[in-house]
Chain A
Amino acid sequence: MTTLIPAPKAVRAHPPHQPGRRETVHKWRRRFPLLPALIFTVVVTQLPFVATLIISTLQWNILKPGERHFTGLSNYAFVFTDERLRTAVLNTIVLTASVVSISMVLGLGLALLLDRRFPGRGLARTLLITPFLVMPVAAALLWKHAIYNPDYGLLNGTLNALYRLFGAENGPTIDWVSNSAMPAVVVALVWQWTPFMMLILLAGLQAQPGDVLEAARVDGASAMATFRFITLPHLRQYIELGVLLGTIYVVQTFDAVFTITQGGPGSQTTNLPYEIYLTMFRKYEYGEAAAAGVVVVIGSIVVATFALRTIASLFREEVSR
Chain B
Amino acid sequence: MTIRKITHAGRSTRAVLAAVAAGSMLAACSGAGGSSSGGGGESINVLMVGNPQMEDIAKLTKDTFTKDTGIKVNFTILPENELRDKVTQDIATQAGQYDVATIGAYEVPIWHKNDWLHELSSYAGKDSAFDEADLLKPMVQSLSGDDGKLYALPFYGESSMLMYNKEVMAEKGITVPEKPTWQQVADIAAKVDGARPGMKGICLRGLAGWGELGAPLTTVVNTFGGTWFTKDWKAQVNSAEFKKATNFYVDLVRKHGEVGAPQAGFTECLNALSQGKVAMWYDATSAAGSLEDPKSSKIAGKVGYAYAPVDKTDSSGWLWTWAWAMPKTTKKADAASKFMLWASGKDYEKLVGEKLGWSRVPAGKRASTYELPEYQKAASAFGDITLKSIEQANPTDPGVQPRPTVGVQFVAVPEFQDLGTKVTQEISAAIAGKTSVDKALDKGQKLAEETAKTYQ
Contacts and interface: CB of A to CB of B under 8 A. Distances in A.
B33 interface: no
B296 to A, nearest CB: 16
Given A52-B23, A62-B92, A265-B434, A254 B12 contact: yes
Interface residues of B, number: 53
Given A151-B260, A289-B19, A62 B88 contact: yes
B88 A55 contact: no
Contacts of A51: 20, 22-23, 26
Contact of B259 (A48, A64, A151, A267): A151
Nearest to B10: A137
Contacts of B24: 48
Interface stretch (B149-157, B160-168, B372-380, B415-423): B415-423
A99 to B, nearest CB: 15
Contact of A64 (B89, B263, B414): B414
B133 interface: no
Interface stretch (B52-60, B393-401, B424-432): B424-432
A63 B19 contact: no
B356 interface: no
A143 B24 CA distance: 33
B8 A262 contact: no
A265 B206 CA distance: 10
Interface in A246-277: 252, 254-255, 258, 261-268, 270, 273-274, 276-277
Interface string A41-75: 00000011101100110000111110000000000
B37 interface: no
Q: Interface majority SS on B: helix, strand, loop or mixed?
A: helix
B260 A63 contact: no
Contact of A283 (B260, B277, B418): B418
B16 A252 contact: yes
B19 A254 contact: no
Contact of A293 (B19, B84, B435): B19
A143 B403 CA distance: 43
Interface stretch (A29-37, A105-113, A173-181, A302-310): A173-181
A114 interface: no
Nearest to B262: A178
A293 B198 contact: no
Contact of A290 (B9, B22, B208, B428): B22
Interface string B35-54: 00000000000000000000
Interface in B136-162: none
A274 B422 CA distance: 13
Given A258-B15, A266-B426, 12 more contacts: A52-B20, A55-B19, A55-B22, A56-B19, A62-B93, A149-B260, A255-B11, A264-B428, A265-B431, A273-B16, A277-B18, A293-B19
